[in-house]
Amino acid sequence: MTTEDESDESGRRSGLESTPETTVEPVSSAAADGTTDRSATASAETVSDPSDAFQALGNETRMGILDTMLERTDETETGVTFSELFEASTVDTSAGFAYHLEQLVGPYLAKDGDEHYELTYAGRKIARAIATGAYTRRVDHPPISLAESCPFCGEQSLAAQATDNVVAVACENCDRSLLRLGFPPSGLESHGESFPDAFDRHHRHRLGLMAEGVCPECSGEISSELVRTAPSTDDALPSEFEEHVQAAFDCEVCGTEVRCPVSLAFLDRPEVVSLYHDHGRNVRDRPIWNVGHEWTETILSEEPLAVRVVVELEGDVLALYVDERLDVVDVQRSETNASTSEGAADAAA
């Protein structure tokens, strides 16, 4: 039942983005004459080598320029002028400032003929990342008691604690860890003691993107599959969870990897949302560390792996049949709901 970001756990990949070495594809004849060719592939251009791009950031003045650009970008539609940027800096001479400014043009800044500057996509990404403190601040937060009970021992003894921008949710009674995931320092600082709620929403959104095949870090394509849990995880689980599988999400572009309970991959499914709504509940009220005992997972096949995920509310049963690629191949809902819905319709009539 644990949820882990394996890129954070192993440290083999960082959240930094780099532009892959690619060649520029020629413009198709369809694009040239104004028609749309939906089979055409995207073209890409290497603006700079990663080493050059990051070397351009290694100066306090240039960091200040990006910070000023981020502040002024939403205030103007025409870009920011040289004089505006120079006045906001602490550099003594315009010549020295111009040198630093030009080092950012290309990968991080675009300049038009009127000497106006705008942030490029990469410029916005790095400026916002710096503003979050992801690369400059480490935040620890003491344990915060959570209202939900432990899904393993049933005691109301869960706590969320942050160490070095990583949040861990664990049970203080049975000493089991439920999840361990990174969280931006800006989130920990701005939300204070309510950070567990923000943390839940943050990773619920990320898991939803992964389930849809999109990497929340780089927007690359995510591969999904059912996997057996690692031996270390098996050892930490109670005996009733020995036959256990997880949902595995993997981005081959940036290396983001996450393992989580299969149920968490389907919290946003329309059938699930509808089931909760029909019973006057909101599935979003259940945090990812304990979505409720109404959820069960049963292995249906070993080769290939297949799982049935069941949600039961007040005798109303929803079953999702999931194959080895985390595709839902069948959905069944009990007749209990059908009779309830018909009764509600008759009452409304």
Cα(166)–Cα(15) distance, rounded to whole angstroms? 14
Averaged pLDDT in 10-residue chunks for the chain of 349 residues? 50 31 36 51 74 86 93 77 92 92 92 86 91 89 95 93 96 93 94 95 96 95 90 58 83 93 95 96 94 92 94 95 97 68 44
Phi, psi of 313, rounded to the nearest 5 degrees: -125, 115
The number of CA neighbours under 13 Å toward the Cβ of 208 is 12
- For the beta sheet containing 158-163, the strands, ordered from the edge strand earlier in sequence to the opposite edge, are 141-145, 158-163, 166-171, 177-182, 3-5, 257-260, 245-251, 222-228
Query: C-alpha 111: how far from its chain's center?
Result: 32
Side chain identity at residue 127, one-letter code: A
Cα(325)–Cα(305) distance, rounded to whole angstroms? 9
Report the pLDDT value the prediction gives residue 42, as an integer from 0 to 100: 72
